[in-house]
Structure 1
Amino acid sequence: MPNTATPPAETFVELTTTTPLLDYETPAIQSLIRDRGWRGLSQFDQIGALHDYVRNEIRFGYNLADTTKASQVLSDGYGQCNTKSVLMMALLRALGLPCKMHGFTITKSLQRGVVPELAYPITPQNIVHSWVEVWFDNRWVKLEGFILDDGVLSALQKQFPDRNSLCAFGAGTDTLQQPEVNWTGADTYIQQTGINQDFGLFDTPDQFFAKHPQELTGLRGFMFRNLLRHWMNTRVRRIRNGHSYSLPKGALGNG
């Protein structure tokens, strides 16, 4: 049964504050909120507007690090699960909507096809992952469906028209042709089936990433920041534009 017990008021205050990563008081974020008129919407429509914005106007791609500030993710115009979650949380909190981060790891097979095969063997087996939980309608609602933009998702649906189960190319779902990515007041998912470890809930992304940093240090970290992520972003753009990448036989399972 879902936990619908209302948290105390002081908890709500803590879950709407700024942090170094959730820097929603910066001019760019405040201007975005003002220009879009999000403050005048109902809570349901606020969450829906933010979910759609982060899903499609912040395209799927790889930033410099998971610990990229929300304002920088906005400036980059792209993000992955963790950096999009940071921006989503900052926007929610800027509108006074309490939220927190749920931390996990996902199997690296979820990124196969986005990660070039040449680099795949040296990537970490477990990749730090997160989604956002927002307090709405007296319950915590899970938001993960904003990770893949419609362009990438549509391209994958066309590439695999007879497949529902997919754990590759940035997707981890058993409902590829009709994924739960649209805000209806219920949970949204697009990478859920790739999860292999649950770290639990954190009040802020700052706390989560401090306790569970991605294992990208030394030469491997340097290569990711300066070479591999740019290569991955190029592949994502090509997928979005309709290019199909093949994987080794058996990599997709039976789906």
Structure 2
Amino acid sequence: MQLNQMDDITDYLKDSEIMDYNSSRIQEKALKLSLDSKNQLETIKNIYEFVRDEILHSLDINGQKVTFKASEVLDNGQGICFAKSNLLAAMLRFLKVPTGFCYQRLTHEGGYILHGLNAVFLDGKWYRLDARGNREDVNAQFSVDGEKIAFPVSKDGEVDYPEIYSKPLESVTTVFNSAETVSELMEKIPDRLIENSI
């Protein structure tokens, strides 16, 4: 799939209220994970695997705490896909790796739901990474030689959106700002990509 960069490359390095990599905790963790890396590729892999494996997916642990801001996700050690993608973006951006946001429309409980993942810019090319977290039926891996994301699109009505945004979609952010539990959050997440990133 041909990915489409939607903004200037410098926009994929910015911090924000959501990607708050000015947080000392995010900086310390990112630096620690990159300390023994031989190159940028290894740094990205180490940070990706930390977010994928050490930050738990709320649904997998029946967690009800809603996290979204990167430092909040790190502090609580959990979040759903959108939250985990914010943390991955914040840590990589702090280390000067352009990182954006991608989306998929997936089947879910008889309908559809939006799923969030990341794209990173490495050696002049974008690669999608999905830090959702693995389980028995999910095996996402760091790969620049053939994509290995959590949910390859395979069913009728599912969509791989090619856009790479520099900010989370407004429709996603709005839902997180209004939900008090993960259960409520899951009921409100859009079932398709609604444009206009914030």
TM over 0.5: yes
CA-CA distance at 1:202 after TM superposition: 1.5
Q: How does 1:1-255 map to 2 (within 5 A)?
A: 2=2, 11-38=8-35, 41-62=38-59, 64-65=65-66, 68-109=68-109, 125-144=111-130, 146-149=131-134, 153=135, 156=136, 171=138, 179=139, 181-186=140-145, 187-193=147-153, 196-199=158-161, 200-205=163-168, 208=169, 210-212=170-172, 225=181, 228=183
Are residues 23 and 84 of structure 1, via their aligned partners in 2, closer, same or farther at CA, if it must alter by over 3 Å? same
Contact kept in structure 1, 2:82 and 2:116, CA below 8 Å: yes
Matched residue of 2:8: which SS?
helix
- d(CA) in 2 for partners of 1:26, 1:80: 21
CA-CA distance at 1:11 after TM superposition: 2.6
CA-CA distance at 1:190 after TM superposition: 1.1
- d(CA) in 2 for partners of 1:213, 1:196: 22
Provide the aligned C-alpha RMSD in A.
3.3
CA-CA distance at 1:136 after TM superposition: 1.1
Q: Which has the higher helix share?
A: 1
Taking every aligned residue pair, what percent have the same amino acid on both sides?
21
Give the AA of the match of 1:196: E
- d(CA) in 1 for partners of 2:175, 2:12: 28
Give ranges in structure 2 of 5+ residues lacking alignment.
Answer: 185-198
- CA offsets 1:128-174 (integer angstroms, 9 cap, x no match): 21111111122110101x2124xxx2xx2xxxxxxxxx6xxxx4xxx
- d(CA) in 2 for partners of 1:197, 1:3: 13
- d(CA) in 2 for partners of 1:79, 1:184: 23
1:174 alignment counterpart: none
Are residues 196 and 64 of structure 1, via their aligned partners in 2, closer, same or farther at CA, if it must alter by over 3 Å? farther
Matched residue of 1:126: which SS?
strand
Matched residue of 2:13: which SS?
coil
- CA offsets 1:89-144 (integer angstroms, 9 cap, x no match): 111101100111112332213xxxxxxxxxxx8xxx33221111111122110101
CA-CA distance at 1:198 after TM superposition: 4.8
- CA offsets 1:66-95 (integer angstroms, 9 cap, x no match): 7x1000000111222111111111111011
CA-CA distance at 1:37 after TM superposition: 3.9
Greater C-alpha Rg: 1
Contact kept in structure 1, 2:27 and 2:91, CA below 8 Å: no
Matched residue of 1:15: which SS?
helix
- d(CA) in 1 for partners of 2:34, 2:166: 27
Contact kept in structure 1, 2:104 and 2:158, CA below 8 Å: yes
Give ranges in structure 1 of 5+ residues lacking alignment.
Answer: 110-120, 157-165, 172-178, 230-255
- d(CA) in 1 for partners of 2:117, 2:176: 20
- d(CA) in 1 for partners of 2:36, 2:10: 18
2:188 alignment counterpart: none
- d(CA) in 2 for partners of 1:192, 1:60: 18
